[in-house]
């Protein structure tokens, strides 16, 4: 209401100064409405989950569905709790694909809409409904290998959230092969599958060899590697699935399917993507009641790399994590290293498993000898709602009541020549962009 009063005065002043045409402009300053301004944002950033038969508790497809949630929507978007996206936006790499998060302008629009009483506006302004095209087809094309859970997991009508590792059906991989694309998705019960992360491992050495393969995230349809780039699938690999299942008031059978497309046998890719633990710290010392237990771990890059994604791995007490690159020989004086922040997740949420994929132009290029430093923070107080026992000391361990600290990172290993070429190409692009700006 204040807004329109001041708007009116501004219109009056303008009219006096520059004539009648600006009156029309100022008075026409439209109110923020659902149909025109809010619906497009919900379509892009919310509806993938907030629609029937998906993981969110309510649907936000229509005005009637969204209106009762207006207050709660305002709180969740203003606090950047929704959509789930917990990367620190102010440091390190800033561009991701996919990136469901809201811009400051979009948050402002939603806040203004709620504060104005959440008006519907003119139904004719509604965008056409978003079409969802997800579970019934492969987005990577027809896979060569398909694996599922050997039997459905029954999610009871009422039960605590469950986290579990389940071996997938056997796949026969007699020789090392290269992966062109990989996708995972719920094949049954999408409303109860909150996350599904597929890993590969070798039976002889399950602990050391376990490697993240692909994660299911609502709105993301698998990983397709650019031509010439690949992941390795080791001979005799087994597949295992880590699940987070969430009851929704009725008994639901759930299952998950992984599809893998291979390059032809004998194919040699130019770039091989490595997925690896970075900065493991197995000496965690998390005192009871400590709200900010800090630990560090380090990994040295033995070859130049192009970093493609980051996912913090902490257990229930996880609070935040940062990855920095300490780059040797990049300083002005001999012997001085340069530190570059790669990514920080400043509000780790144990129940959301988010992999942050960098856009190609923003994937950090790092020389051999770079030290990756991973700093993690754990909150062992009762203020952390996921904490199983704030009165106990916690250390490193496999059980979910123990804790962990490392980052999953993916990169392409580069030869020295490939690295130099990519750095030069980046410099050319940056120069071209700066020249464009100056013109
Ligand atoms: C990746 C899936 C996903 C996306 C995208 C998403 N949500 Fe949610 N949302 C959820 C889930 C699951 C919950 C319930 C559990 C939780 O809060 O973590 C939830 C909870 C909420 C709640 C609280 C509901 C309650 O019971 O109090 C609101 C409000 C909300 N979301 C709004 C939004 C809005 C607005 C957007 C888009 C700007 C959005 N969400 C995007 C999955 C999602």
Report d(CA 346, CA 377) in Å as an integer: 9
Instruction: Measure 73 CA to ligand 1 centroid, in angstroms.
Output: 8
| pLDDT tens-digit readout, 204-225 | 888 888 888 988 877 778 889 9
Report d(CA 59, CA 14) in Å as an integer: 44
Which of 10-19, 33-42, 309-318 shows the lowest mean pLDDT across its residues?
10-19
Q: Is 31 within 8 Å of 118 (Cβ atoms)?
A: no
* Look-up of token digits 């237990």: 293
Q: Structural domains in the chain?
A: 31-83+101-125 (no CATH), 145-266 (2.60.120.230), 273-422 (2.60.120.230)
| pLDDT tens-digit readout, 146-187 | 999 999 999 999 988 888 999 999 998 999 999 999 999 999
| pLDDT tens-digit readout, 108-128 | 999 999 999 999 999 999 999
**pTM (predicted TM-score):** 0.87
When pLDDT is averaged across residues 305-326 and rounded to a whole number, the result is 95
On the question of pLDDT at 18 being above 80, the answer is no
% the chain with pLDDT above 70: 92
Please identify, by atom number, the ligand 1 atom nearest to the C-alpha of residue 102. Answer: 38
Q: Is 306 within 8 Å of 417 (Cβ atoms)?
A: no
| pLDDT tens-digit readout, 75-111 | 999 999 999 999 999 999 999 998 999 999 999 999 9
Instruction: Measure 368 CA to ligand 1 centroid, in angstroms.
Output: 41
Instruction: Measure 220 CA to ligand 1 centroid, in angstroms.
Output: 17
What region does 108 belong to: left with phi over 0, alpha with psi -120 to 50, or beta? alpha
Provide the pairing of β-strand 271-278 with 229-233: parallel
pLDDT of residue 169: 93
Max mean pLDDT range (8-22, 341-355, 396-410): 341-355
Residue 326 Cα distances to 279, 283, 295, 374, 419, angstroms: 13, 22, 17, 11, 17
Report d(CA 312, CA 349) in Å as an integer: 10
Which protein residues touch ligand 1 with a CB less than 6 Å away? 45-46, 48-50, 55-57, 69, 72-73, 76-77, 82-84, 100, 102, 218
Residue 372 Cα distances to 117, 125, 307, 369, angstroms: 49, 50, 11, 9
Q: What is the mean pLDDT of the chain?
A: 89
| pLDDT tens-digit readout, 329-387 | 877 788 889 999 999 999 999 888 899 999 999 999 999 999 999 999 999 999 998 89
Instruction: Measure 77 CA to ligand 1 centroid, in angstroms.
Output: 9
pLDDT of residue 28: 58
């Amino acid at each position: 209401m204040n807004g329109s009063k001041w708007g009116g005065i501004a219109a009056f002043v303008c009219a006096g100064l520059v004539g009648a045409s600006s009156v029309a402009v100022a008075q026409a300053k439209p109110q923020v409405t659902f149909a025109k301004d809010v619906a497009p944002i919900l379509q892009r950033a919310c509806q993938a989950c907030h629609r029937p038969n998906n993981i969110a508790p309510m649907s936000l497809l229509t005005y009637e569905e969204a209106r009762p949630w207006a207050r709660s929507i305002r709180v969740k978007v203003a606090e950047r709790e929704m959509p789930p996206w917990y990367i620190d936006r102010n440091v390190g790499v800033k561009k991701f694909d996919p990136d469901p998060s809201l811009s400051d302008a979009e948050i402002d629009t939603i806040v203004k809409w709620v504060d104005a009483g959440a008006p519907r506006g003119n139904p004719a302004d509604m965008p056409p409904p978003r079409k969802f095209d997800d579970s019934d087809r492969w987005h990577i094309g027809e896979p060569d290998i398909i694996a599922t859970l050997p039997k459905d997991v029954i999610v009871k009508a009422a039960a605590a959230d469950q986290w579990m590792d389940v071996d997938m059906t056997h796949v026969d991989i007699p020789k090392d092969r290269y992966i062109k694309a990989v996708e995972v998705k719920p094949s049954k019960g999408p409303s109860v599958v909150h996350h599904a992360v597929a890993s590969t491992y070798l039976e002889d050495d399950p602990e050391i060899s376990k490697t993240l393969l692909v994660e299911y995230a609502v709105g993301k349809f698998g990983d397709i590697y650019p031509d010439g780039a690949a992941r390795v699938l080791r001979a005799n690999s087994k597949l295992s699935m880590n699940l987070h299942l969430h009851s929704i008031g009725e008994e639901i059978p759930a299952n998950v399917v992984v599809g893998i497309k291979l390059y032809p046998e004998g194919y040699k890719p130019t770039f091989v993507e490595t997925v690896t633990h970075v900065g493991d710290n197995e000496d965690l010392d998390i005192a009871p009641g400590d709200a900010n237990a800090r630990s560090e771990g380090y990994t040295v890059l033995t070859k130049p790399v192009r970093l493609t994604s980051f996912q913090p791995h902490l257990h229930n007490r996880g609070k935040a994590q940062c990855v920095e690159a300490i780059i040797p020989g990049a300083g002005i004086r001999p012997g001085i290293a340069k530190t570059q922040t790669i990514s920080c997740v400043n509000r780790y949420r144990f129940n959301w498993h988010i992999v942050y994929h960098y856009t190609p132009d923003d994937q950090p290029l790092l020389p051999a000898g770079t030290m990756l430093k991973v700093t993690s923070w754990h909150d062992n107080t009762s203020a952390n709602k996921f904490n199983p026992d704030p009165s106990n000391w916690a250390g490193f361990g496999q059980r979910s009541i123990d804790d962990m600290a490392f980052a999953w990172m993916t990169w392409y290993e580069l030869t020295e020549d490939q690295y130099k070429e990519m750095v030069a190409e980046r410099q050319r692009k940056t120069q071209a962009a700066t020249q464009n700006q100056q013109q």
